[in-house]
């Protein structure tokens, strides 16, 4: 059932003794008074909720869904120190806190909750879906990070000693000290994310005025290779849609295919001419968002 965007309102909730910041998008009220299902969204590696997620949220709301977008602890306006620490296991805790907050609201249907993640958060929603089988009724993972080992092997060997050096320096910092930061992306230079499409693709997601957020705590180099969210896929009970990009230069598509096959109730879409950042704009966005919307409509029934 199509619906216009009704309201967008601030949303905050408790996350591990601090406050996470987000927003709630509500569709226009229905004549029958039925409460809408909700899709919870958060960004990937070092991203904030207003970096390219708005067009997806708008389509979902127009289809009759409520949408919650939030930022992890240490990112955006969310509380917590140290800042800009990318840690999948800690981000999952924030997802679970977001689900707890959503379940307590009276303006959405807590029995119809879906989760949507992309890239690094695409792996997180696989874990969330496995950990909350009674609560999460649909999982959408877009170009998901599924294996720290397979992604780590993509990282250029020439930069690995430098990455380790920065990471060890960062680990020596206290929680109240500013981390040792490294660039998230840097054209043809050392950075956290390195792939043919990374620099231009990532920059297109960052709104004007937020260029100073192009940094992450260097300790990520020591945690990321040892996180395997794809291992949670066989335990997901909810219907799960995985969208992959055949020309993904950051996440090996062969590993994503393998994980997709392990999902008990899964759907898999592979975009033949897309890279890691293609799904956010242009024809690839239109194809992906249409498939994701249809998936959520089928399983959450707005």
Per-residue pLDDT reduced to its tens digit, 194-250: 999 999 999 999 999 999 999 999 999 999 999 999 999 999 999 999 999 999 999
pLDDT of residue 5: 66
Token representation of residue 104: 């307590």
With respect to residue 266, please indicate whether it lies within any of the assigned structural domains: yes
Contact yes or no for 286/271 (Cβ under 8 A): no
With respect to residue 78, please indicate whether it lies within any of the assigned structural domains: yes
With respect to residue 192, please indicate whether it lies within any of the assigned structural domains: no
With respect to residue 207, please indicate whether it lies within any of the assigned structural domains: no
Dist CA 299 CA 280 (whole Å): 23
pLDDT of residue 128: 99
Average pLDDT over residues 124-146: 99
The Cα-based distances of 245 to 82, 92, 131 in angstroms read: 33, 24, 26
Q: What percent of the chain has pLDDT over 90?
A: 95
With respect to residue 42, please indicate whether it lies within any of the assigned structural domains: yes
Q: Domain residues for 27?
A: 5-147+228-300
- Quote the crossing angle between the two packed helices 120-131 and 88-103, to the nearest 10°: 60
Residues 82-133: tens digit of each pLDDT:
999 999 999 999 999 999 999 999 999 999 999 999 999 999 999 999 999 9
pLDDT-derived band at 6, boundaries 50, 70, 90: confident
pLDDT of residue 3: 47
Determine if the pTM surpasses 0.85: yes
The answer to which of 21-35, 74-88, 130-144, 258-272 has the lowest mean pLDDT is 21-35
Residues 259-277: tens digit of each pLDDT:
999 999 999 999 999 999 9
With respect to residue 134, please indicate whether it lies within any of the assigned structural domains: yes
With respect to residue 69, please indicate whether it lies within any of the assigned structural domains: yes
pLDDT of residue 1: 37
> Environment class of residue 203 by beta-carbon count within 10 Å: exposed (0-12), middle (13-18) or buried (19+)?
middle
Instruction: Say which CATH number the domain at 53 has.
Output: 3.40.50.1820
Dist CA 70 CA 36 (whole Å): 19
With respect to residue 198, please indicate whether it lies within any of the assigned structural domains: no
pLDDT at 14 exceeding the cut of 80: yes
Domains: count for the chain:
1
Average pLDDT over residues 177-193: 97
What average pLDDT does the structure give for the chain? 96
Q: Which residues contact 28 (CB under 8 A, 6 or more apart)?
A: 3, 4, 5, 6
């Amino acid at each position: 059932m199509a619906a216009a965007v009704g309201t967008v309102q601030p949303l905050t909730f408790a996350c591990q003794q601090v406050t996470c910041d987000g927003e709630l998008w509500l569709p226009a009220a229905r004549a029958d008074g039925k409460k809408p299902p909700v899709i919870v969204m958060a960004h990937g590696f070092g991203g904030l909720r207003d970096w390219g997620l708005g067009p997806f949220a708008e389509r979902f709301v127009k289809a009759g869904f409520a949408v919650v977008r939030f930022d992890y602890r240490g990112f955006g306006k969310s509380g917590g120190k140290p800042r800009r620490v990318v840690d999948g296991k800690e981000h999952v805790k924030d997802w679970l806190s977001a689900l707890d907050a959503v379940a307590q609201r009276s303006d959405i249907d807590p029995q119809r909750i879906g989760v949507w993640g992309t890239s690094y958060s695409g792996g997180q929603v696989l874990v969330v879906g496995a950990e909350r089988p009674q609560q999460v009724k649909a999982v959408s993972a877009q170009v998901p990070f599924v294996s720290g080992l397979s992604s780590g092997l993509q990282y250029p060997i020439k930069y690995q000693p430098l990455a380790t050096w920065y990471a060890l320096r960062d680990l020596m910092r206290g929680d109240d000290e500013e981390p040792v930061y490294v660039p998230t992306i840097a054209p043809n230079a050392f950075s956290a994310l390195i792939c043919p499409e990374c620099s231009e693709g990532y920059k297109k997601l960052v709104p004007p005025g937020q260029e100073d957020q192009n940094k992450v705590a260097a300790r990520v180099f020591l945690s990321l290779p040892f996180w395997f969210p794809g291992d949670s896929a066989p335990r997901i009970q909810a219907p799960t849609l995985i969208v992959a990009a055949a020309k993904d230069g950051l996440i090996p598509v062969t590993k994503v295919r393998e994980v997709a096959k392990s999902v008990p109730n899964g759907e898999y879409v592979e975009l033949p001419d897309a890279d890691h950042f293609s799904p956010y704009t242009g024809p690839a966005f239109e194809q992906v968002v249409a498939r994701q919307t249809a998936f959520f409509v089928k399983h959450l029934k707005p």
